[in-house]
Structure 1
Amino acid sequence: MKKINIKILTMMMLCAVLVLGACGGSSDKESGGKSGDKSSKTLKVWQMGDSGWKEIIKPYEEETGVKVDIQGIPWDQGHDKLLTAVASGKGPDIILMGTTWMQEFVKAGTFVDLTDYIDQYPNLAPDDFYDGALETSVFDGKTYGIPWHVDTRVLFYRKDLLGDVGYPDGPKTWDDLEDASKKLVASGDGKYAIDLSIDDENYVYSFAWQQGWEYEPELGADNFTKPEFKKMMELYKTFYDNKYSQIGEGKDMVQAFEDGTKPMFFSGPWDIKTVKEGAPDLDGKWDVHLMPDGGTDRSMIGGSQITIFKNSDNVDQALDFINWLSDPETQLEWYKVKNELPSRKEAWEDPILADDPMISTFGEQLESVEAPPIMNGSDKIAQEIRKMMEKVARGGEDIDKALNEFHQKAAKIIKD
């Protein structure tokens, strides 16, 4: 009996091992190996600007068992770090990119072509993103990035002071803006009308679009010889020559807005919070308005793109994470953390955005935007634009002379 029992016991133990082994094999097969992979996977992420995603990713890590290792990369180091990654073939799985670098690094073969993947993920459908944001993610009909946040500019203005000169709802056109500026400056010594930046090429492009300028890639530097581009420069010169805008840097922006010496300025959504916190006594006395219309009211669109590095071994998991990030709820959480506007149109239906009149103005402006021109040597051309504007607006140089010099430099940069 003892021998029989031992044999039976041995057979039972063997069967148990086989059953457990079969169950384990069945589980792996059914999950495609993903559950085993997920528990041990780490996604490496480079986030340009900072590592702020760390504040919102905990639910994803808990749900999937995937560790998301985020490294914040300062903008002034990002370009060189990316070049090194391309040269060495060693980089992260995911890179959060600035839109202005996309073309250069797409040409360098830095990213995975996502075209055949996006239909498999419900949050990546192109139709739910702003058209302007897609302009910087699609090249030659192929998708290399998913828009993460979007950014645009509108006019901030003092309702009370603009009301005193006949524009309580803000100037709607460039003619209105010029007329309001003239009246504001005439209303008191030491007053200017608007802070008009010449240090940011995005404003230069925006104001040129508003005069009807169109950038045509096949024309290259000849785009800058178009009359609409010159008209933009003439507007700048008018505002500086007539002291509607201050030549020097002057007071802090919020201080000047609060004391009324500069009752208008152009900026992005982050400055809503800046004004509210920096000048609480202005509550109810200021608002934001769409860009002035000079034929169009187009503004620039910026932001960021989520990309997958070409040598990643975790493409499927990276796509899963990007799909999670692109969920409207996740984007809204990021808005609460960083005040950066979501790229998904569906997110804008949430009351936190839809019921906020100022934020809704930014949403309306996003329907009339354009990506800054992408050309060879974009950064160098931007530097030359800033130098040219400095010469004309503050140095008094002849517009035709400055434009001709800039055209020659831009042509050489694009060719090289």
Structure 2
Amino acid sequence: MNKTRTKYLAIALLVLSISCSQQKSDKVEINFWAMGVEGETVAKLIPEFEKQNPNIKVKVLQIAWIAAHEKLITAFASETLPDVFQLGNTWIPEFEAISSIEPLNKFVSKSSVVSREKFFDGIWDTNVLDSIVYGIPWYVDTRVMFYRTDILKAVGYNNAPKTWAELYDASKKIKQKFNSYSFFIPTNEWLPFILFGLQNNAELLKNKNQYANFSSKEFKEAIVYLTKFYHEDLAPVDMQQVLNVYQAFGEGFFSMYITGPWNVAEFQNRLPKDVQDKWMTAPLPSPNNEYPGYSLPGGSSIVLNAKSKNKEAAWKWIEFLASYKTQYEFYKLVSSLPAVKKSWEYPEFVNDRYIKAFYEQLQRTKPAPEIPEWEQIVFQKVQQEMVEPIARKRISIDDALKKLDEDVNKILEKRRYILSKKP
């Protein structure tokens, strides 16, 4: 009798063991790589996801932004990319070109969470190449005008300038009244020049992004306009004059500055107390009366590894991160602006007077050319070799733009060759 009981007990334990083993093996583990503070913080969202999806486990690896690109490329070469990873949205074309990221149209078409109309148009479009969706926006940023309300009011402007003409007029009046600079346009940044070119409907690259077009009438007009601020002493040329942006803004050394959402908290924390009620944000001015002018869509996206063995589970994680509730919760953790429009209906956004301008601006953005070579073009050629020489009158605008076209056409040689081989 005892032997029989022992036999049945052993069988029961064996069945239970096999059952538990099968349950354990049924649990899918997906790996997610994310950068910076978002990578440090996103783990706090995992318990809720795993509660909703008990058969999926998420492991996160945080990567420093400075090392992210190289690590991702190395992982691609060694076929060790994670199931899901974060990409700056300007990196999407490069990673699509090497076939490392999965087309997502089939997932989006079946999703009740992710669809184009739920996101800001300009942000969504940075993830689309030739009508194929390759990334889902995670968080966004764009640039707006930060300005001193008291100084602008003193020269007759109760609000930020809404047109290029008003921006120039206000700047001259500030110079006349306060003998100070007005508009800070850093000579070590490419963004204002590209941004104003896009506002003026410049086609920066032509023939399917195979050739440079910086000598175009529209781009030249934008450069001529911005260069006036340097040459008429309305904007500082020497970056040594602005070693601390917050101190300079607080002291009225300049009174207008185009920057991003991260600086809202910085301005609140770093500006003197007597200036805290004397600054505001506003959408960017326009070359015409179509206010606001275009800004660039920025931020990060979530992509799916083309070789992932767990694509369905990975997509559920992407959907979770893209839901309006999760994006709102993530904003509360890291202050990264949501890419989903419905998230902006929460009181934190509705009642924040500084954030309002970003919501307005996100309705009117225009992406830069979506090619892998774009960052090389703007950082090496526009930022490092064009802006300061023009500002310091070391080269004429015509000659600078001609040289820029020549240099960029050399960068695009490989692109032209590859496209020429396509059927």
Match of 1:281 among 269, 274, 278: 274
Matching residue within 302, 307, 310 for 1:311: 307
Q: Trace 1:147-162 onto structure 2 (pairs within 5 A).
A: 147-162=137-152
Alignment of 1:100-249 (within 5 A): 100-189=90-179, 191-215=180-204, 217-218=206-207, 220-249=210-239
Q: Aligned ranges for residues 7-406 of structure 1 at < 5 Å?
A: 36=24, 40-50=27-37, 51-52=39-40, 53-65=42-54, 66-189=56-179, 191-215=180-204, 217-218=206-207, 220-249=210-239, 250-251=241-242, 252-279=244-271, 280-295=273-288, 297-382=293-378, 383-386=380-383, 387-406=385-404
Partners of 1:303 and 1:61 in 2: how far apart? 26
| More deviation, 221-230/47-56 | 47-56
1:101-121 Cα shifts (integer Å, max 9, x gaps):
110110111012211112333
Q: Which moved more, 1:118-127 or 1:359-368?
A: 118-127
In structure 2, C-alpha distance between the alignment counterparts of 1:49 and 1:199, rounded to whole Å: 23
> SS of the counterpart of 1:170?
coil
Q: 1:17 Cα deviation (Å)? A: 5.8
SS at match of 2:238: coil
Q: Which moved more, 1:154-163 or 1:210-219?
A: 210-219
Cα deviation, 1:31-87, whole Å, max 9, x if unaligned, reads xx8x7556x433211113342312333322344344422222222322222222222
| Paired letter, 1:93 | D
Alignment partners' CA distance in 2, 1:209 and 1:351: 33
Going from structure 1 to structure 2, the CA distance change for 1:112 and 1:230 (only over 3 Å counts) comes to same
Name the amino acid aligned to 1:373: P
Unaligned runs of 5+ in 1: none
Are the equivalent residues in 2 in contact too, given 1:332–1:347 (CA < 8 A)? yes
CA distance in 1, matches of 2:392, 2:88: 30
C-alpha change, 1:62 and 1:261, in structure 2 (3 Å) is same
Q: Calculate the TM-score normalised by the size of structure 2.
A: 0.87
Q: Which amino acid letter does the alignment assign opposite residue 75 of structure 1? A: W
> Displacement of 1:283 after TM fit?
2.7
Q: Distance in 2 between matches of 1:216 and 1:269?
A: 28
Deviation at 1:345, TM superposition (A): 0.9
Query: Secondary structure at the residue paired with 1:116?
Result: helix
Matched residue SS, 1:156: strand
Provide the C-alpha distance between the structure 2 equivalents of 1:6 and 1:373, rounded to a whole number of angstroms: 78
Higher Cα Rg, which structure: 1
Distance apart, 1:215 and its partner CA? 4.1
TM-score by length of 1: 0.88
Residue 168 (structure 1) shift: 1.6
Q: Which digits, 9 at most, give the CA deviation of each residue in 1:172-227, with x for residues without a partner?
A: 111111111111112234x1101113333232221112223234552543421211
2:112 and 2:360 map into 1 onto residues whose CA distance is 25
Deviation at 1:346, TM superposition (A): 0.9
Alignment CA distance shift 1:156-1:37 (3 Å): farther
- 8 Å Cα contact 1:122/1:323 also seen in 2: no
Query: Contact conserved, 1:198 with 1:204, CA < 8 A, in 2?
Result: no
Letter in 2 for 1:205: I
Q: Which amino acid aligns with 2:110?
A: Q
Q: Distance in 2 between matches of 1:195 and 1:345?
A: 31
Give the gaps of 5 or more residues in structure 2: 415-423
User: SS where residue 219 of structure 2 aligns?
Assistant: helix
